[in-house]
Amino acid sequence: MDFNNKFGKCPIYYTISKIEGKWKWVILYKLYKLKVMRYSRLWEELQPIAHRTLSKQLKELEADGLVHREQYNEVPPRVEYSLTEDGQTLAPILDLMSEWGAQRIQQELSTKDT
């Protein structure tokens, strides 16, 4: 039995397959907190991410229905990104991940100070 046949119906595997990648969680978190972001602002917020990587991750998140891309026909062109309704359902997970990380950072800082 191959991996997808064995784990394809597993909810954890499905979730991870949609949001795996070094930057996807951070992109989702930035869009969750700031609601709507232009590509250039998102790229600045995520330094040192490469343009190619950001573009690829955004396209994958859009294809999976988690991120909405709005392009305005202006000169210069303007593109904005936001979370879809499905993307918004990840908010509790994003909040928990942020809280967990903040607690661990504080613990590490406390440990280094002693």
Number of C-beta neighbours around residue 67 at 10 A: 22
Q: Can you list the domains of the chain with their CATH numbers?
A: 3-113 (1.10.10.10)
Q: pTM (2 decimals)? A: 0.84
pLDDT tens-digit readout, 51-101: 999 999 999 999 999 999 999 998 888 999 999 999 999 999 999 999 999
pLDDT tens-digit readout, 5-55: 767 678 888 888 888 888 999 999 999 999 999 999 999 999 999 999 999
Answer yes or no: are the C-beta atoms of 81 and 68 closer than 8 Å: yes
Helix (H) / strand (E) element for 45: namely helix 39-45
Average pLDDT, the chain: 90
